[in-house]
Amino acid sequence: MSIPEVAIIANPHSGAYDPSILKSLAEGLSEFDPSVSVTEMPGHAAELSRSLPSGSWIVSLGGDGTINEIVNGISGTDKILVPFPGGTGSDLVKTTGILTVQSAASAIREGRYEKMDSVRVTLDGRSVYFANILEIGFGASVMQRVNSMEKRGKRAFSSSVMRELPRLKSYRLDFESDGFTGNVDTVETVVANARYFGGGMLASPDSLPDDGLMDVHIVRKISRFRLFLSFGKMKSGKYVSMKEVRNFSARKLIITGDPSPVEADGEYLGESPVTIEVVPGSLRIVRDRSS
């Protein structure tokens, strides 16, 4: 039986990166003689993953941004993502399951993976993919601030929320989809393939990354004070039951209206208008449902 092609891609600039974890990964997967690459610039993980042979198992050590780059390099191919947390948020793995070196090695050895959806985003004449969550409005402004920080600790997200709150504004957006069509004044729109964002906040409690749907949560125009008082519900996911929130599921969503900031998986993408569409089963991923 041939040894599978295994590559470790590590991002040393991720918020919780630890060189000792990279060493443990390389040693724990030594039976596969993995190649080890450390990213040197934005976009490098996508470039590295694209260059790997067909059928490669790509072990990601970084945050959601690193996973996002790899997703953009392998979506729609037969390459398999093996995600390990090492970032400021590392939120996707809270849905897909947090692997151990042993469980990852076992999955690679047995050729065991699952298929999940990715979501294609088209704006400014280009298309990119995400696996976790996209935000339009306030959350995208928060992530811009987080990404501008030289050092991103565990409090980076919460401190950025507090700094952006005084600048809260609403956007008049037009939504067209197979789940809802209408015009809404919104401060924040969440488009979810998975469940968590912002370092463990339950953004979309019922989202499943393999159901062929994205779950959309539109937070209508709301005061700064009301939003501040709602942060506990944002963390627990109970915000989706607030009277100011419109929830629906869709396969394709077109958003026009006021130009609004857009981010996906922690990466700022630009401003709406934007088209968002699920690509079912386009990712191969190693999951650990026991965690």
Backbone phi, then psi, for 166, in 5-degree steps? -60, -20
Closest by CA position to 239, among listed 178, 190, 174:
190
Confidence of residue 36 (pLDDT cuts 50, 70, 90): very high
Average pLDDT over every residue of 207-226? 94
| Residue 76: pLDDT over 60 | yes
pLDDT at 166 over 90: no
E strand or H helix at 41: none
The backbone torsions φ and ψ at residue 143, rounded to the nearest 5 degrees and listed phi first, read -70, -30
Q: Residue 68's pLDDT band (boundaries 50, 70, 90)? A: very high
Token pair 């956007």: residue: 171
The pLDDT, as a whole number, for residue 144 is 72
Write down the pLDDT at residue 85: 82
Tokens of 282: 């386009």
Q: Mean pLDDT of all residues in the chain?
A: 91
Quick: pLDDT tens for 239-270: 999 999 999 999 999 999 999 999 999 888 99
* CB of 131 closer than 8 Å to CB of 220: no
75: DSSP letter: T
Specify the range with the lowest mean pLDDT, choosing from 14-18, 26-30, 32-36, 225-229: 14-18
Considering only residues 179 and 166, tell me which one the structure prediction assigns the higher pLDDT: 179
- What pTM, to 2 d.p., does this model score? 0.91
> Is residue 149 predicted with pLDDT exceeding 80?
no
**Any idea what DSSP says for residue 133?**
E
Q: How far is CA 214 from CA 55, 71, 195, 218, in A?
A: 27, 17, 11, 13
175: helix, strand or coil: strand
Segment 277-286 shows an average pLDDT of 98
8 Å CB contact between 235 and 247: no
Domains in the chain, CATH or no CATH each = 6-117 (3.40.50.10330), 122-280 (2.60.200.40)
Tokens standing for residue 105: 């090695």
Kindly report which listed range (9-13, 108-112, 154-158) carries the lowest average pLDDT score.
154-158
Supply angle C-alpha 237, 239, 243, rounded to 5.
150
100-134 pLDDT per residue, tens: 999 999 999 999 999 999 999 999 999 999 999 99
Residues 6+ apart with CB under 8 A from 291: 97, 98, 99
Cis peptide bond upstream of 273, omega within 30: yes
pLDDT at 1 over 80: no
Cβ–Cβ < 8 Å for 18, 44 = no
Least confident of 34-38, 86-90, 177-181, 214-218: 86-90
Confidence of residue 216 (pLDDT cuts 50, 70, 90): very high
Residue 257: alpha-carbon gap to chain centroid: 25
Residue 74: what pLDDT?
A: 97
* Percent residues over pLDDT 70 in the chain: 92
Separation between Cα atoms, residue 277 and residue 79, nearest integer Å: 21
pLDDT of residue 153: 55
Could you tell me which residue, 184 or 138, shows the higher pLDDT?
184
pLDDT at residue 145 greater than cutoff 80:
no
Q: What is the pLDDT of residue 148?
A: 61
Which residue in this structure is represented by tokens 């650990």? 288
Q: Which residues contact 174 (CB under 8 A, 6 or more apart)?
A: 182, 183, 255, 256, 257
